[in-house]
Amino acid sequence: ADGRVPLIVILPSAGDVEYRAEGHADENIALTKHFEEEGYRYLNFLDSLEEFHKDNLSAKSVFVRTHLNGASNKLLAEEIIEAISL
C-alpha cells in the first residue's frame, strides 16, 4: 500500500513488572514469537524496563499508581523513537 509499517508496543502492567522482577520468564513469549514469525515490528517495553532498571526493577520504580512514571514515559518515548527510526 503506502509503505507504512506498524509498530506494536506491548506495555506491561504492574503485575507483569513484579512477575519479571521475581525472575520469571516473560508471559508474552508466545505472542512475541508470533510477531516474529509474521514479520511484525514490535517493542516489548518490559524488556526495556528490565534493561534500564537492572537489579532494581519493581512496580514502584516504574509506576505511579497505575500509570507509568515520568522516567518510564521518557524511556518509552525514546524506545519508540529508536524503533521507528530504523
For the stretch 6-37, pLDDT in tens is 999 999 999 999 999 999 998 999 999 999 99
**For cell 532494581, what's the residue?**
56
Can you give the pLDDT at residue 86? 62
**For cell 507504512, what's the residue?**
4
The identity of residue 84, as a single letter, is I
* Nearest C-alpha neighbor of 68 from the set 48, 41, 40: 48
The per-residue pLDDT for range 30-53, each reduced to its tens digit, is 999 999 999 999 999 999 999 999
Per-residue pLDDT for 4 more than 70?
A: yes
**pTM for this one?**
0.88
- Phi first, then psi: what are they for 44, rounded to 5°? -90, 100
The identity of residue 53, as a single letter, is H
Average pLDDT over residues 55-82: 96
Measured distance CA(24)–CA(34) in Å, rounded: 20
